[in-house]
Structure 1
Amino acid sequence: MVAYLEHANITVPDIDAAIAFLKVVEPDFVVRHDATPEGSYRWCHIGTDQTYIALQEPHLDSNPKHVGRPYKDYGVNHLGWVVEDLSTVVERLEAHGYRKGIPVEPHPHRRRAYYYDAAGFEWEIVEYLSDRAEEQHVYPSG
């Protein structure tokens, strides 16, 4: 078996807003579980049978801070999702008013776009134009 990333766990200020963003990126994502155990914080899993995002509210006894500055503070800068049709996903994100992230250079074998969700987390959306890994993962020289 080859190792793969099954899930990422993210503490968010608003689970419903995070679910809404992810459903815009991939309408077929399902909420696999959503719970608020008595005396605890809410958490959920959204995605597919193979991969998902675990979303959770801050622990009840915490004093959460705003999201860090991507690429400047320690922590996750962005998470990337592979999609079949980037143009359609971008149209949906724009129609829902999500803010575009960093610009990207053209690439012969992939298209990418970065968007911020309502909490300020950055997400990379990728469409591969080739099935060949050696083409998908060509990096600029330098």
Structure 2
Amino acid sequence: MIHLEHLNLVVADIPSTLNFYRAALPHWRIRGGDKGSWYGKPRNWVHFGDDYQYLTFNDSGEGQNRELSGHQVGLAHFAFVTSNLDALIARLTQAGFPIAKDGVEDPYRKNVYFVDPSGYEVEFVEYLSDLPSQRNSY
């Protein structure tokens, strides 16, 4: 079996990024972090997650993230599954992060998109069925 262990993201600011992901994923924690360099440029990094998966945040970014409504090559979005989308929305909006766009209406799932402080679009999905044929209908 293969599963995704981590995503390594270059961000504008680690503390503001942590504010977003702590609100979204309150059961996650900082697993570790340090200072280093990437191709000769100093950077700080943090691993934020649980015992099995995490996000790496690096603060050595330059410039802006890709335009999300554009067609440039790059990351469009990534998604997390939640068991309570309404509670997640409440935590993020209370922390000052507005919904970027609503998902499509579907009888078997609810979803919503937020944009984190570095411009990454993050989808959150709550499945309303345990049946793969319903969860994965397109």
User: TM-score, length-normalised on structure 1?
Assistant: 0.87
- Specify the alignment match of 2:28 in structure 1: 29
SS at match of 1:3: coil
Aligned ranges for residues 122-141 of structure 1 at < 5 Å? 122-139=121-138
- Specify the alignment match of 1:20 in structure 2: 19
- Specify the alignment match of 1:87 in structure 2: 86
Q: 2: distance between equivalents of 1:134 and 1:5? A: 22
SS at match of 2:78: strand
| Runs of 4+ more than 2 Å apart | 37-40
- Specify the alignment match of 1:69 in structure 2: 67
Structure 1, unmatched stretches of 5+, are none
Aligned residues: 134
SS at match of 2:101: coil
Structure 2, unmatched stretches of 5+, are none
Percent identity between the aligned chains?
Answer: 27
Report the Cα offset of residue 16 of structure 1: 1.1
Report the Cα offset of residue 95 of structure 1: 1.1
Q: Residue 67 of structure 2 aligns to which amino acid in structure 1?
A: R
Q: 2: distance between equivalents of 1:133 and 1:47? A: 26
Report the Cα offset of residue 10 of structure 1: 0.4
